[in-house]
Amino acid sequence: MSVNPYPLGLRLAGLRVVVVGGGAVATRRVPALLDAGADVLLVAPELTPALRAHADAARLHWVPRRFVADDLDGAWLVHVAVDDPTAAAEVSAAAVARRIFCVRADDRHAATAWTPAVTRYGPVTVAVHGGGDPRRAMTVRDALRTLLRARAAPLLADPVDLPTGGPGRVALVGAGPGDPELITVKGWRLLTEADVVVADRLVPGLLLDELRTGVELVDASKIPYGPSRAQEEINRILVDRALGGAFVVRLKGGDPYVFGRGGEELLACAAAGVPVTVVPGVTSSIAAPGAAGIPVTHRSVAHEFTVVSGHVAPDSPESLVRWDALAGLRGTLVILMGLKNLPVITATLLDHGRPADTPAAVVQEATTGGQRIVRSTLGAVAADTTAAGLRPPAVVVVGDVVTALDLAGYRG
Ligand code: SAH
């Protein structure tokens, strides 16, 4: 008998697939079946907590007992995910009698279908069969995954969803706080697919280093107008290039919607009829404290964290932040764009009652080679920051969480 399987992509939307067994194997198989839209019937006396969560959320039907042959009525496919060979053979026999393909986790020789090792890359699914050797399949799959995620990706991605001449689209992508590895997998994929990249000052330079040749790179920080004209100009570039048919990635530091003007860009695109995708990013408001060994929440220390912009001084009539109210909070206060106004910000918090000995820290250029940390107190942090010569971009953290992990000796 030939060992070569015949490869197929099963389109399972709405079709009944039976999974027998509720342990580790089923836990690994079920998500892909659900992702394919299958109508999953899970037959097992007991489930792992992850499978239980699927059942509780009604993403699948669970029959809490041992398998009986009639469970296969109406099924297109069955996965056997039990160790017991007798129980597994019973399912196989029932499947053969009904002409239903049967995957066997316990014995691939007894199976009528094999599951491949899989990796996904946007719309592309790669499925690898290793001639009956699952480890070989996984090794090849891992190599292909590395290839797809690295240089080969643009070759694949180019023509996929850009019909020539049609309207393009825009993706607002969060690039993360600074370490080029802290972009999301999706953000990275879209970046490798872009025709035009419009990048912020805070975007990790190393990400731009890896763009394929031929990509038009627009440096938004070099646009020679004041901040509001510059934003209009950015909006215009996004819309114009997309209407010209390009796939435009607007790459922004951290998360696009945290003091990033992502909302304005989305509205401008929407007004021009340009489709927009938004890819969240790791925001510096959480990552910068984290990189310094400061958790923004910690059980029984802080059950809230508040993120504010300090770019407008508290005593300015233009300030939208209720600093007096913030002074009354017990939890963590994270201040972005706050270095210039730090003396007046801390003075305002002290005036309204936040204690001067509250721990405080400033983290500059978090998650990059230039990361610097100053640890202090609310009363002294402004002077300490100046004395240490810290510069933007930096995040200020105020609250007891600043010292919560000190016992662990971890200091970023
Ligand atoms: N959208 C971004 C924030 C943009 S506002 C995000 O979600 O992270 C710019 C401010 O972010 C800077 O002034 C600084 O306060 C903060 N910031 C961004 N990157 C930083 C980094 N690597 N280290 C410290 N602060 C950072």
- Who wins on pLDDT, 137 or 210? 137
Residue 261 confidence (pLDDT): 94
Asked whether the bond before 393 is cis by omega within 30 degrees of 0, the reply is: yes
Q: How far is the CA of 254 from the centre of ligand 1 (A)?
A: 6
Q: How far is the CA of 393 from the centre of ligand 1 (A)?
A: 6
Task: Indicate whether 292 pLDDT > 90.
Answer: yes
Q: Which domain holds residue 74?
A: 16-115
pLDDT band (50, 70, 90) for residue 246: very high
Overall pTM > 0.85:
no
Is 403 found in the same domain as 294?
yes
| Interval 262-286: pLDDT, tens | 999 999 999 999 999 999 999 999 9
What would the two tokens of residue 303 be? 């059950």
What would the two tokens of residue 346 be? 């801390």
Residue 151 confidence (pLDDT): 53
Q: How far is the CA of 255 from the centre of ligand 1 (A)?
A: 9
Residue 50 confidence (pLDDT): 93
Q: How far is the CA of 209 from the centre of ligand 1 (A)?
A: 21
**200 an active-site residue?**
yes
Whole-number Å distance between alpha carbons of 199 and 250: 6
Taking the chain, what is the end-to-end CA distance rounded to the nearest angstrom? 59
Is 289 found in the same domain as 271?
no
DSSP 3-state percent helix, strand, coil across the chain (nearest 5): 35, 20, 45
Phi, psi of 361 (to 5 degrees): -150, 155
Q: Which of 251, 279, 307 is the last residue of a domain?
A: 279
Q: Cite the DSSP H helix spans in 76-226.
A: 85-98, 134-149, 153-157, 185-193, 205-209
Is 177 found in the same domain as 65?
no
Q: In terms of Cα–Cα distance, which of 395, 353, 350, 355 is closest to 372? A: 395
List Cβ neighbours of 291 (8 Å cut-off, separation of 6 or more): 177, 363, 366, 367, 371, 412
Residue 162 confidence (pLDDT): 45
| Interval 107-124: pLDDT, tens | 989 999 999 999 988 888
Q: Is the CB of 172 under 6 A from ligand 1?
A: no
Q: Of the residues 182, 336, 342, 396, which should be mutated to test ligand 1's pocket, given the most ligand atoms within 8 Å of the CB?
A: 336
Residue 212 confidence (pLDDT): 78
Identify the CATH number of the domain in which residue 110 sits. Answer: 3.40.50.720
Asked whether residue 141 is domain-assigned, the answer is: no
Residue 412 confidence (pLDDT): 62
Asked whether residue 10 is domain-assigned, the answer is: no
For residue 281, the ligand 1 atom closest to its alpha carbon is 7
Q: Encode burial over 153-176: b for 16+ CB neighbours within 10 A, e otherwise.
A: bbebbeeeebeeeeebbbbbbbbb
Is 95 found in the same domain as 58?
yes
Is 401 found in the same domain as 295?
yes
Q: Is the CB of 284 under 6 A from ligand 1?
A: yes
Mean predicted confidence (pLDDT) in 127-139? 89
Q: Cite the DSSP H helix spans in 150-213.
A: 153-157, 185-193, 205-209
| Number of compact structural domains in the chain | 3
For residue 282, the ligand 1 atom closest to its alpha carbon is 7
Pairing of strands 359-364, 394-398: antiparallel
Q: Is the CB of 180 under 6 A from ligand 1?
A: no
**222 an active-site residue?**
yes
Asked whether residue 228 is domain-assigned, the answer is: yes
3-state secondary structure of 237: helix
Is 347 found in the same domain as 250?
no
3-state secondary structure of 45: coil
